[in-house]
Structure 1
């Protein structure tokens, strides 16, 4: 965290229970924070990562219940309610650089800081992404299919995850 406070961390990674169209992430409460339906683990450092990294990558399962117009609670700030919110709140750097989901990749639209769909993973349709997003999704005019990883990239990933815990694939014998 010390290096992050000084601006020496180029990229932070987090996930969460909910995310909204401005990249705000919730890992604290489902429902009203005064009387939550579910109490989640909280920040665990993710608020610092989201506030102080040069840029932020968020990785999540793409499900409508998680992709909300507005999160129930902002644990890790993205772009608040859009526009220049981070500057107005005194956050020195960062903000969500990309949201990588099980369906595609989104990045903040430069003029609004609202998440915009840039690519869809192979085998996924635009309708599937829209059906699993809880807001009226911005879609890039240059929407494309996510580039599949190269053979070498897959080898590295599988060497890090030989049991297939993250990838869901067992190492070939």
Structure 2
């Protein structure tokens, strides 16, 4: 019997999982990045090592953590570190890829998690701040950005720069002395964006089935670059992958329920 097709959150998690290769060390963020990483581990990448910001290193399989500080992230971990040492995993080159969300993402992959509107002392909405975001953005080899894409969340100019991406583009990140490649992709409900290899401007790489470039641009506050060839169409998740996602990864629908639960 056919199962219900993927909702936008499930498609997003599937797209995140597709960027994880077997054997990678993955620095996992709260929410859909945890779903994507666990989905990858249960499907095509069983040998990844999952590193959590709060200190759990490669915990045993268990229930879906409610955050990167949840008890499940420490379940029979091979190693438990204090947070500075957990970030040092990235600084010392042990992390292959990390996932980061933000309230705002600009055309160069810079992130804002501080405030929306106004200034530092007269903001309209105060957010969580950096946490470990700046550490990961500055130190990890590859960064994948995660967010629900609309013009307010993908503005031409950030209200505050919390965590660096490609800064002002070109080689500005390297000149600033930051480690790693910086952002390599952005995964949203629309598909996957990447960054032009020279200008470091965000561009469309692949779009979810049923969408098009015009929809992507309408959901973005700056001009998206287009790829040289045809835009790749991302397939819908197959039934066997959706079954793993729904029954094994997040059976309580903590993060994949759509519309999300009202808190």
TM-score where L is the length of structure 1: 0.91
Q: How much has 1:33 moved relative to structure 2?
A: 2.2
Runs of 4+ in 1 over 6 A off after TM superposition: none
Query: Can you list the C-alpha shifts for 1:49-106, whole angstroms capped at 9, x where unaligned?
Result: 1111110111100111101112111111110110001111110213111100011110
2:249 aligned partner? 160
Q: How much has 1:150 moved relative to structure 2?
A: 3.4
Deviates more, 1:63-72 or 1:29-38: 29-38
**Aligned with 2:188 (options 94, 101, 104):** 101
**Aligned with 1:64 (options 113, 129, 151):** 151
Give the distance between the partners of 1:119 and 1:106, measured in 2 at CA: 7
Give the distance between the partners of 1:89 and 1:156, measured in 2 at CA: 42
Higher radius of gyration, 1 or 2:
2
1:147 aligned partner? 235
Does 2:153 correspond to 1:86? no
Does 2:163 correspond to 1:76? yes
Does 2:224 correspond to 1:137? yes
1:24 aligned partner? 110
Unaligned runs of 5+ in 2: 1-86, 259-263
Contact 1:105 1:117 in 2 (8 A): yes
**Aligned with 1:39 (options 101, 126, 129):** 126
Helix, strand or coil at the partner of 1:138: coil
Q: Aligned-pair RMSD on alpha carbons?
A: 1.5
Helix, strand or coil at the partner of 2:149: coil
Q: How much has 1:151 moved relative to structure 2?
A: 3.6
Contact 1:9 1:53 in 2 (8 A): yes
1:10 aligned partner? 96
Determine which structure has the larger strand proportion and give its number.
1
Give the distance between the partners of 1:163 and 1:122, measured in 2 at CA: 27
Determine which structure has the larger helix proportion and give its number.
2
TM-score where L is the length of structure 2: 0.61
1:121 aligned partner? 208
Give the distance between the partners of 1:33 and 1:108, measured in 2 at CA: 29
1:50 aligned partner? 137
Helix, strand or coil at the partner of 1:22: coil
Contact 1:118 1:142 in 2 (8 A): no
